[in-house]
Structure 1
Amino acid sequence: MAKRFQDLGPLTNGEPMSILAFKKEQRLELWKQRESGWEMVCSYPFTGYSGTLGPKLEEGDGQIPEGIYQIEYLNPNSSYHLSIKLDYPNSFDRKMADVDGREELGFDIFIHGSSATIGCIPIGDEAIEELFYLIAKNGYSNVTTIITPVDFRLGAAPPEVDGIGWEADLYAKLSKRLKDYPIPENPNNEDDNKEHQLPTVPPSS
């Protein structure tokens, strides 16, 4: 990390961070909020994938959730090297389940290392070490995770989901939220993105 980030101070100063995860593109991005707006730190490809496009609805469906999530805790003793626990199901997931009459929504959704997955987001061991460290040093309570079926910033159309009627509202909310984050110059070139270094900002007086 010392080679990849000349100065970790601006990345770990406690200011908000965001994780963006795009299921179709199978890409995860880490962003840091600066005075000038959101700036991307780096991106990582998924190393595994399960399910299809569309929200997670029940335990055992293999789906990666879609929505806006907070981090519950960091697990340094994960079976998948390291892992980051998301708060699925959140209040929106539970509310929609009540509307649909669904129970047993599933649990234990993580971003983790390795490549095996059933409904989680794996990014490999080296990448999770980097992401885990940056989030731990910055404070995981300052990180919001946004998981979308497609990268709406690129003009992608939302998927059609059978059996539910509330996904359009969810996707409109997610699309609106993504407008805060500029489209990376080279969104699918992870090697270039990982070399991006946020400018050092002097401490405020």
Structure 2
Amino acid sequence: MHTVCRTLAGLVTALALVGCASQPETVTQLGHPSSLSRKKQPKRYLNIPMETAYSPPFSFPQGARSIDDALYAFAPAALEQLKPYFRKAGVAYPPREIALIAIKDERKMELWARDGDKFRLIRSYTIKAASGMRGPKLRQGDRQVPEGVYRISRLNPNSNYHLSMKVDYPNDFDLLHAEYDGRSDLGGDIFIHGKSVSAGCLAMGDAAIEELFVLAAHVGPENIRVIISPSDPRQRPLDASLPNLPSWTPELYERITREIFAVTQAKPPIKLAHSSNAYPLYRPAN
């Protein structure tokens, strides 16, 4: 009798194991059919659900990687680099909002973030490449990096430049002044991306774009502003009197200055009375 019971128990256990093995293991991923073929649940790299990562309202081509695929590949290392900066700044991760301030002549991008009322500087990045010169982008093919206050319109995990984030140039300000000037064919496809080559984009290098891409996915592009300035208005007022700049450049530079001061809580620079230079020296107010 005991032998029969042991035999029956063994058969039940074997059937149960077969039943579990026959159930397909699936991974809940956003917007990518190839995710269903994964055999293992990916490790969580953040103590928030993956569904908070931004996925656009369109499908990627068959065989392309999704945003969640990119996060699975790059988030662990990116967060290891980013989180100490957030802790030092006293800002929770992920923050509620971020601002990217790009200074063209210094080839520098500052990352500011906030989880409360005030933005705090998290860290700075070197811009590896940015084509063009001082002044806003006006038309297709001018190879200019735009100047203004922008948003991120989408994340691209399949960029030719590793990873990229699309800037919403031309925005309403650009379109309004193009109509006033009688300009058309303003160009587009302006990205913050990896690698170190640029044709109107901001090339950040692969390591930096991995951090920024992961951060943007966790924060949500709707909570990101991108401010691109020809120089740093905290050090010297932006000069709109240079030749070949559009007549509306003072309005643009006033808008850029106002946004940078609002994010950084900076005060207008103070002119040094003893300066005799053609372009007076300025310093931030205490």
TM-score (norm 1): 0.83
Deviation for aligned residue 1:138? 1.3
Q: Which amino acid aligns with 1:26?
A: R
Choose from 66, 84, 87 the match for 2:168.
Answer: 87
CA contact (8 A) 2:230 2:238 kept: no
Aligned length: 182
Instruction: Tell me whether 2-11 or 142-151 shows the greater mean CA deviation.
Output: 2-11
**Larger strand share, 1 or 2:** 1
Q: Residue 164 in 1 paired to residue 232 in 2? A: no
Larger relative CO (CA 8 A, sep 6+): 1 or 2? 1
Q: Which amino acid aligns with 2:191?
A: F
Measure, in 1, the Cα distance between the counterparts of 2:106 and 2:124: 12
CA contact (8 A) 2:92 2:115 kept: no
Q: Percent identity?
A: 40
Choose from 200, 203, 221 the match for 1:119.
Answer: 200
SS in structure 1 of the partner of residue 234 of structure 2 = helix
1:6-44 Cα offsets, whole Å, 9 max, x none, are 47881314x111111111111111111243511011111
Q: Counterpart of 2:8? A: none
Alignment of 1:22-101 (within 5 A): 22-101=103-182
What is the RMSD of the two structures over their aligned residues, measured on CA atoms? 1.8
CA contact (8 A) 1:27 1:45 kept: yes
- Stretches of structure 2 that go unaligned for 5 or more consecutive residues are 1-78, 267-286
SS in structure 2 of the partner of residue 5 of structure 1 = helix
Measure, in 1, the Cα distance between the counterparts of 2:245 and 2:177: 12
**Larger helix share, 1 or 2:** 2
SS in structure 1 of the partner of residue 170 of structure 2 = coil
Alignment of 1:181-200 (within 5 A): 181-182=264-265
Q: Which amino acid aligns with 2:205?
A: G
CA contact (8 A) 1:161 1:167 kept: no
CA distance 1:89–1:31, shift in 2 (3 Å): same
CA distance 1:4–1:135, shift in 2 (3 Å): closer
Deviation for aligned residue 1:171? 0.3
Q: Which amino acid aligns with 2:214?
A: Y
CA contact (8 A) 1:28 1:44 kept: yes
Deviation for aligned residue 1:156? 4.4
Measure, in 2, the Cα distance between the counterparts of 1:145 and 1:161: 26
Q: Which amino acid aligns with 2:250?
A: A
Q: Counterpart of 1:179? A: 261
- Stretches of structure 1 that go unaligned for 5 or more consecutive residues are 184-205
Measure, in 2, the Cα distance between the counterparts of 1:154 and 1:171: 14
Q: Counterpart of 2:185? A: 104
TM-score (norm 2): 0.60
Measure, in 1, the Cα distance between the counterparts of 2:161 and 2:151: 20
CA contact (8 A) 2:146 2:169 kept: yes
